[in-house]
Each structure stands twice: as structure tokens, then as C-alpha cells.
Amino acid sequence: MKKQLRTAGAALAVMATAGVVAISAPGRDAEAATWETLIENSFQSRATLTSEWNFNYPWGPTHNGSARMIGSATDNSHVYLPSAGTLQIKANPVSGQGNIHYESGAVWAKDQVLVNDTFPQYELRGEFQAPSARGTWPAFWITGATSWPPESDILEYKGDNRNWFNTYKNASGGWSNTIVSVSNPAAWHSYRVWIAKVNATDVDIHYYLDGVWKGQHRGANFVNKPMWIIINLQMEGSSGSPGPTGTTYYTARNVYLGRSRA
């Protein structure tokens, strides 16, 4: 885990200068807190990638959809760095494997999101070129490491040009969804969440696209729940079928995770 420390006040000043809206957790003195950077520049080389990220899903190579994740520290056939600072996931169709119609890739971070009294605020963001054709299902999300829910989807395209910002569960016990049409998802766009503890059990999650605030969801019972960070290219499933007959690419850069220490 790489940590860069500064006061939360200084961190918020930097974010404000960059045109990013920062939301402080209620009842917290930002100047008295410290900001820690956990993930930054992790796609510079294969060594930095493997030091910060694991391959496939945390639970194995499959999840919903029809793609099997392929990847390891030594297998870069589906998860690789086309240039320093850029991660690319490649999905290609396969046959003769039953319900598996594609081989693709996923990575999950060795650092986790864990909102609690010590770490009441988190920022998670990245820039992505995402496929959006029928049968393509890219995602950038966090999900419970020891239980499900919680879940927050920061990037999720399901076969068209709409990004789904999702939170489960909300205060009513269901899903909260903010669905945003995106012009050309295959171009670079930035996706971001700011997560802030609001009481003993719940958080507020603010969702941003290209630096513009798009919605706020209440995440019920997120506090004290460790969450994995996952980047994956799943296929078909909720994105429709049949999927593409050729190769599909999903590209990421500038993925960042930081948190406040009270």
C-alpha cells in the first residue's frame, strides 16, 4: 500500500483548484484530518500493476454474463499495458465452452474501501474508454468483500450509451440508479465517486461524470463493510445478446483511490 499524506484541508484546496467539488463528512473538521493516497500511477509498468492489483474477480474467473476472466502476473493475453499509464482489457469470442462465449479480463485492487470512524471519506476515480455495443458490459465498481450488499457501480454500460451509477442498498432496501446518456463512451471520460460517512451505519455517495456532479445516493449499512474495487469487461448477460463477433477493448488510466484519516 502506497500512502501519500497531507491534511484534508490541503487536499480539498487542490481538488477545488482542479474544478472538483469536494464534500466533507458532516461533523468533521477537514483541517484536522489527514488525506492519504492509496492508489495512483499503478498502470506505469507490469511491476506496478501487479503490486497494486490482483487478476480475475476476487471470487474466481466468472460472474454473471458469458465471459471467463483470463489473467495473472505472467499471463497478459487479456489484461495488459499497451503503453505506460494505460491498462487495457481485451475480450474475444470463443466456442465449444458451454455458457462461456468469451474470454476477457478483470482486475481487483489490493487496497479496499472501508468507511469507518477512522476513514470517514473516500475518493475513487478513473478515466475510461468503454465499449457500449450490444453484448458488452464494462464496469468499474466496488462491492462487499465479506458480505453483499454493499455495492456501488461507478461505471457500468449495459449494451448502449447509458452509464448506470448504481447503489445497493439504499435506505429503503432497494437500488438507487442514476442513468446518464454519454456521448461516445469509447472516447476518454472520467468517472468518480466521493463517499462520506453520514452516521453510524450509512454513507452518502456522490457520482460524477467528466467532473460534473450527476447524483447523490444514500448507501445504507456501508459503514464498517470492506469493499473490493473491480475493473472488468463482462459480456452479454444484462447487456443483451448475441454479443460482438470480433474483439472488444476496454481501456483505463489515472485510476486513483484516496481517503481521509480523522
- Domains observed in the chain: 4-261 (2.60.120.200)
Q: Point out the catalytic residue in the list 36, 52, 156, 236.
A: 156
Identify whether the C-beta of residue 189 lies closer than 8 Å to the C-beta of residue 128: yes
**pLDDT of 32 strictly over 80:** no
Phi/psi region, residue 212 (left: phi>0; alpha: psi -120 to 50; beta: rest), is beta
Mark whether 40 is an active-site residue.
no
Question: What is the chain's length?
Answer: 262
**pLDDT score recorded for residue 174:** 98
Residues 6+ apart with CB under 8 A from 17: none
Mark whether 156 is an active-site residue.
yes
Identify whether the C-beta of residue 23 lies closer than 8 Å to the C-beta of residue 208: no
Comparison of pLDDT for 143 and 18, the residue scoring more: 143
pLDDT, one tens digit per residue, over 191-211 is: 999 999 999 999 999 999 999
For residue 239, give the DSSP letter. Answer: G
pLDDT, one tens digit per residue, over 217-253 is: 999 999 999 999 999 999 999 999 999 999 999 999 9
Instruction: Say how many CA atoms lie within 13 Å of 150 toward its Cβ.
Output: 29
Band of residue 255 on the pLDDT scale cut at 50, 70, 90:
very high
**pLDDT score recorded for residue 33:** 77
- Amino acid at the residue 204: D
Place of cell 458469458: 66
Residues 6+ apart with CB under 8 A from 244: 93, 133, 134, 135, 136
Sign for the CA dihedral angle at 83, 250, 235, 175 comes to positive
Task: From 59, 95, 100, select the one nearest 237 (Cα to Cα).
Answer: 100
Specify burial of residue 213 (Cβ count, 10 A radius: 0-12, 13-18, 19+). Answer: middle
**pLDDT of 11 strictly over 90:** no
What the block records as the C-alpha cell of 118 is 477512522
Place of cell 448502449: 160
For the segment 80-100, the average pLDDT, to the nearest whole number, is 98
pLDDT, one tens digit per residue, over 123-151 is: 999 999 999 999 999 999 999 999 999 99
* pLDDT > 90 fraction of the chain, expressed in percent and rounded: 87
Place of cell 454513507: 203
